[in-house]
Amino acid sequence: MEPHSSKTLVVSILVSLSLSLAPCLALASTSCKFPAIFNFGDSNSDTGGLSAVFGQARSPHGESYFHHPAGRYCDGRLVIDFIANSLGLPFLSAYLDSVGSNFSHGANFATAGSTIRPQNTTLRQSGFSPISLDVQYNEFYDFHPRSQVARNRGGVFKQLMPKTQDFSRALYTFDIGQNDLTAGLFLNMSTTQVKAYVPDVLNQFKNIVKYIYSQGGRYFWIHNTGPIGCLPYVLDRLPVLAAQVDNAGCAIPYNKVAQFFNRGLKQAVVQLRKDLPLAAITYVDVYSAKYSLISQPEKHGFKEPVRACCGHGGKYNYNLHIGCGGKAKVHGKVKLVGKACQDPSLWVNWDGVHYTQAANKRVFDQIVDGSFSDPPIPLKRACHRQQAH
């Protein structure tokens, strides 16, 4: 074949390929217009579930945005709030909250203290919620048909419930796993012992995603777990040797457990993509986004990366028995001792366990454009299936 003919053939093939791919690329560049969000998780995304069951998160929670407690363990908004807002949706009502809730644009099944794998303890014994991920799925499974029965009654019920088609067009978000790791660590398990049960935890996670898929869910946005070794409630309760602390002040062994979990979660997502061919599943590396705030606080506008803004005493301003908003007797009088810092916007950590609103906003700003996602797809285009890395 002549050189000129070869070049012509190559050009023709490239043109044909570009024309055949054009519709796919155009489709992938369009926004998805999710009509609803259904969220599953723990306190990192709980907008009022645990508060509705076990009592409202007390003041000063909510002070920076809502100006009163709003069911969130934070001084203001969570990452899930910023996700909803960016998609043009209202804040998610907690499924368990019977007062003033509106489920027309989705529901939040997350509760603080939740785990993927059910815990054999009560909330008061261990601090972990009985509303594990399987229970959250059962709530969703019940909500799906019953919401349509209510909607068909018309009137106000029609206004407060999602449309039938919204369940297949909604974004299903997950942020859970942190408590599965700390549950073992707080029982004095070694990091090796905790890692040993992670595969079982992830198998249970995969099952829930499959169940939701069987209910019509197609678009999944899955956060991995954050650097637990940087959190005051872990650093205070599970001290490590100086040689085991990194330059950011975080406990290396516990962060390695989180990284181990995240590698397994990413593999689980890869398998889910094979098992669920019609699903678009985005894995989001929240760990790296959060660790960036702690290891490079000045870059993100923070001054306090590890200590808790709202708390009482100790190296990390954290006390297991006197938390944020906690009171104690001082000279015979009950006084508020778990006070908030003067400017939470300069602190990464809010209460020893959770992030401040400012930190949540910075995490959201980092992940919304797909920079920390696999595949690297922006939030607004998470309904499009693309080749993962």
Secondary structure of residue 225 in the 3-state scheme: coil
Give the single-character DSSP code of 90.
P
- Residues 159 and 178: their CA atoms lie apart, in Å, by 35
DSSP label of 339: B
Residue 10 has a pLDDT of 41
The proportion of the chain whose per-residue pLDDT surpasses 70, expressed as a percent, equals 92
- Least confident stretch, 5-19, 52-66, 75-89, 187-201: 5-19
Residue 117 carries which DSSP code?
Answer: S
Q: Which is the catalytic residue, given 351, 373, 374, 384?
A: 351
Whether residue 232 is predicted with pLDDT greater than 60 in this model: the reply is yes
Q: Is 251 helix (H, G, I), strand (E, B) or coil?
A: strand
Q: What percent of the chain has pLDDT over 90?
A: 87
**DSSP per-residue codes, 308-319:** ESSB-STTTT--
Among the listed residues 385, 383, 362, the one whose alpha carbon sits nearest the alpha carbon of residue 372: 362
Residue found under tokens 């006197």: 322
**Tens-digit pLDDT profile for residues 141-171:** 999 999 999 999 999 999 999 999 999 999 9
Statement: residue 12 has pLDDT above 70? no
Phi and psi dihedrals of 366, rounded to 5? -80, -35
pLDDT (tens digit, 9 = 90+) per residue, 321-369? Answer: 999 999 998 888 999 999 999 999 999 999 999 999 999 999 999 999 9
Residue 354 appears among annotated catalytic residues: yes
Q: Are 312 and 351 in contact (CB under 8 A)?
A: no
Residue range 215-227: average pLDDT? 98
One of 61, 105, 144, 354 is an active-site residue; which one?
A: 354
Residue 28 predicted with pLDDT over 80: no
Contact indicator for 304, 297 with CB cutoff of 8 Å: yes
Q: Distance between CA atoms of 261 and 142, rounded to whole angstroms?
A: 30
For residue 329, the model assigns a pLDDT of 87
Burial state string for 47-71 with b = 16 or more CB within 10 A and e = fewer than 16: bbbbbbbbeebeebbbbbebeebbb
Q: What is the pLDDT of residues 164-187, one digit of tens each?
A: 999 999 999 999 999 999 999 999
Mean pLDDT of all residues belonging to the chain: 93
The pair phi, psi for residue 221, each rounded to 5°, is: -125, 105
**Region 271-285 average pLDDT:** 98
Predicted model pTM: 0.92
Complete domains list, the chain, with CATH: 37-305+355-381 (3.40.50.1110)
Residues in CB range of 110: below 8 A, 6 or more apart: 39, 40, 41, 42, 43, 44, 45, 46, 47, 49, 80, 94, 136, 175, 176
Indicate if the pLDDT at residue 2 is higher than 60.
no
Nearest CA among 322, 320, 356, 321 for reference residue 339: 322
Instruction: Give the pLDDT confidence score for residue 25 in this predicted structure.
Output: 40
Which range, of 14-28, 149-163, 164-178, 272-286, averages the lowest pLDDT? 14-28
**Nearest Cα to 132, choosing from 223, 218, 50?**
50
CA-CA-CA-CA torsion for 74, 161, 280, 376, nearest 10 degrees?
A: -40
Nearest to 311 by CA among 336, 348, 343: 336
**What is the distance between the alpha carbons of residues 389 and 369, in angstroms, rounded to a whole number?**
16
Task: State yes or no: is 351 an active-site residue.
Answer: yes
- Exactly one of 42, 43, 81, 166 is catalytic; name it: 43
Alpha carbon distance 358, 340 (integer Å): 14
